[in-house]
Chains A and B, each alone.
Chain A
């Protein structure tokens, strides 16, 4: 799934750019002419993973669509911090309607473009995990089912951050949120709840489903490019840490995203028509503790008496992902 086979000792394909590579082989984000679709002056918190993920994804989509792109946005952090009236940070045609209808609005735009014969213009819908997995789920499933020509991007920061960190159906087990406080016998979010939207999208057998992470830029960009090369309903689920909601240091955003992948908690895969076509092998396997410890939403697991059983359940979930997707590189 890596974009290109060139490997350098010094920079590999892991840095954003590389002066030793040709311009065409560098990430979109390395380019001086990148669109900066989400421009400076937006009001996201320091170290916002969602702002980063949105620029990564939309810049790549803009390149793929030759800058002929319209985006519909669900309510959520991304919408609130980018467009407080009268400002906008978006340098693309962009519309916000309601919390739950981004997929429907985008489907409508796509239908209108079809009627007008504008095959050059592409449509994207985007939202946070709340607007996608909870409130907008019906519209999204409909969009999938009708195979509307829309790429839906979900920026998953695992709770309703904009309104004050309430639990969503994407909140992981044991995490503290405003609505899953760390009280009682099983503090934090309950095990056995929530939904895995990439898997649900997969079950719709739509042309393309992928997960991505802000820590793996080149992988993220290649998935957006692949999605944009296809038509019909497509879905990309991007993991975006939230320093405020997770109680993490603002400089640790990418580090946490990386640890989520390396621990196996967030598997990176892509699938076409319901069939998994590629997984990103873990480079340096990490125990889940490494990921959990820097976050205050998991601080209750590491008190004077560590919640070893809970940590073990989280590790078991990560191990399940590793087995299911074959995330470990074969031993050499």
Chain B
């Protein structure tokens, strides 16, 4: 075609002009790691399940959640939800009530009797899990989902471990615990109760197991030497909490003194209050800042009228009196005796000084390394003995249910890989979605009418089982408060704000794509992405 002078293009659309060639850097869609996911000891993909919950698709939300944690109804009650303390929304108004939504999803699943989908293929391998606590049950669930045969041997007469014997009913109703355990058993996991394993190697040979996961927990109460008169009533905290599961509640009396500063001490003191004690006093040798118990639990205990004597040790226990010595912190922050004494009236003294692990089943196992009464494991949760893995309270880690569940999941993945003769390679971690990566202007402020309702529901839900958790409307609003940090939630902002019409919208669930023929690399999409799911990357020249 003959063209006029100085004209090289056919008359027509500017689409012939590929302005993408102007670009020196290009936008790239990415997923960043939301702080909540990063924080969760059980490795839950919180943002992902909230995403489903936001649209009211609770079953999808629950199914996403249980990929990492088979106990949402339990965790929605007892988890210390450190995820909420790192929530980016907390820097705008208040963190998302992740824990209360988790509880809602867990309860919804129980109410609607949602079941796990059994594995499609059997691996032919058989794994022994010792201990039916959170870690053992979590591992058993994950291993079963991967197609392995699983047998759990539990020394006690009921499953649940510390979830049953360490967490009082007012925090975790037993019907909820039983239902979530039963759902795992229904998956085809064999659960043998009252079946203590005394020698792991013999047991593995007897049952011809291909691998074992040990999670026997820490149930032996630590003792401290306290001179006590004959009439003194000295109990240990684990025994007290275990007796709560029996027919007759423990006799603690009107005035109960609890010695220790961990969560168990708090649980016993709160339990004593509920059993009718007029006074429940926790004696702890250091200060509130140094107390290992969860801050929320301390606060709740204080609200319930539990008293705490800081900087005090017990010197002597008599029939109705306890002698306490005052302490002072030295320059290094360690408590030192001051020589000042006082007496407390007490009908009983409960020792909550920590627990040791019963390692009897490991006698004669070669290659094991024990340090400070716990079993050392490598980065794959395997002990020094090939094929024997361990997790939960019996390995060095923070002792709580969430950590235990995380151990179970992690160990299951490595056991699965080990059984296949391969190594489990965890996918590379995305960079953290910090608040500076977000454009929070786009997030609406919460309507004033809904916010207080949520506050009340959230506070009470972690306080007392008598009060219900979130109802559906509240749960939906709470889920929608999620900022979806680092992960596209299809708000169409990039599609809208591109001056060059260079963003292609792919339709619901499919997100977007850049048309690099026309993208000039201005970066507006990156700046205006509310959740930080786009990044500029320099063009390679």
Contacts and interface: CB of A to CB of B under 8 A. Distances in A.
A46 interface: yes
Contacts of B520: 45-47
Interface residues of A, number: 53
A96 to B, nearest CB: 15
B407 to A, nearest CB: 33
A40 B54 contact: no
Contacts of A49: 499
A217 interface: yes
A26 interface: yes
Given A36-B501, A40-B500, A47-B522, A10 B489 contact: yes
Interface in B5-41: 7, 9-19, 22
Interface string B492-504: 1101111111100
Given A16-B492, A251-B524, A41 B518 contact: yes
Interface in B489-541: 489-493, 495-502, 505, 507-508, 515, 517-518, 520-524, 526-528, 530
Interface stretch (A191-199, A252-260, A263-271): A252-260
B273 interface: no
Interface of B is mostly: loop
Nearest to A88: B14
A88 B446 CA distance: 45
A67 B498 CA distance: 22
Given A14-B441, A41-B13, A89-B13, A217 B496 contact: yes
A331 interface: no
A51 B500 contact: yes
A17 B492 contact: yes
A10 B19 contact: no
A251 B14 contact: no
Given A47-B523, A88-B14, A17 B441 contact: no
Interface centre among A43, A46, A48 (most CB of B within 10 A): A46
Interface residues of B, number: 57
Contacts of A332: 448
A296 interface: no
Given A20-B54, A29-B496, A217-B496, A15 B524 contact: no
A164 interface: no
Interface stretch (A79-87, A118-126, A201-209, A308-316): A79-87
Nearest to B450: A9
A34 B489 CA distance: 21
A33 to B, nearest CB: 11
25 contacts: A9-B446, A10-B443, A10-B482, A11-B443, A11-B491, A11-B530, A15-B493, A16-B492, A16-B495, A16-B496, A17-B493, A27-B492, A39-B14, A41-B18, A41-B518, A42-B17, A42-B19, A47-B523, A47-B524, A51-B500, A82-B14, A86-B9, A87-B12, A87-B17, A250-B522
Given A12-B444, A251-B524, 4 more contacts: A42-B14, A55-B499, A89-B14, A252-B527
Return the 9 tightest CB-CB contacts between A and B, nearest first: A12-B444, A17-B492, A16-B496, A251-B523, A41-B14, A47-B522, A15-B491, A86-B11, A46-B522
